[in-house]
Amino acid sequence: MNKINKLVSPATILIASIILGSFFYASQVSKQRSIERQQEAKIQQEKQEQLAKEVKEQEAKEQAERQARLNAINSRLSTLNLELCLDDAVVAYHANFKNECKARNLEENCSLPLQIAESLAGVEKDAKSDCFKKYPQNDLGN
pLDDT, one tens digit per residue, over 25-35 is 888 988 999 99
Residue pair 121/94 in contact (Cβ under 8 Å)? The answer is: no
Above 90 in pLDDT, residue 139?
A: no
Q: Would you say residue 141 has pLDDT above 60?
A: no
Kindly report, residue by residue over 64-100, the tens digit of the pLDDT: 999 999 999 999 999 999 999 999 999 999 999 999 9
Helix (H) or strand (E) holding 15, with range, is helix 2-103
Contacts of 79 (CB under 8 A, 6+ apart): 135, 137, 142
pTM of the complete model = 0.59
Where is pLDDT greater, at 138 or 116? 116
pLDDT at 11: 77
Question: Are 135 and 82 in contact, with CB atoms under 8 Å apart?
Answer: yes
